[in-house]
Amino acid sequence: MVALHWLRNRAAQVNLARLSKTYVDNRSLTQRVLSISFVLYVLGTTYHGFSGGTGGRLREGRGKTSVQRKPGKESDRVAVC
């Protein structure tokens, strides 16, 4: 079992080294793509926020959903002393 762990760790180190070398070789392009992606994300979410769209992320009717009310029936009232 220890040998398998060492091999997996070694493979991860090799993959990380390859990824790091690729990043260093293309650093300016990578930074440009990340910056443009971030700007597009911010502009898109800002526009979406100002336009009032929910996009399905927020539930409508944030009240209790476990209690089902029948149409036309008033809610029960409790006397407060």
Question: What pLDDT sits at residue 43?
Answer: 96
C-beta separation of 23 from 30 below 8 A: yes
- Condensed to tens digits (0 to 9), the pLDDT of residues 16-75 reads 999 999 999 999 999 999 999 999 999 999 999 998 866 655 555 555 555 566 666 777
Amino acid at 24: V
Residue 76: the pLDDT is 77
Q: Can you give the pTM of this predicted structure?
A: 0.48
Average pLDDT for residues 75-81, to the nearest whole number?
78
Determine the pLDDT at residue 68.
63
**Spatial distance between the Cα atoms of 30 and 24, rounded to a whole number of angstroms:** 9
DSSP annotation string for 3-62? HHHHHHHHHHHHHHHHHHHHHHHTHHHHHHHHHHHHHHHHHHHHHHHHHT--TT-SPS--
Q: What angle do CA 5, 11, 14 make, to 5 degrees?
A: 140
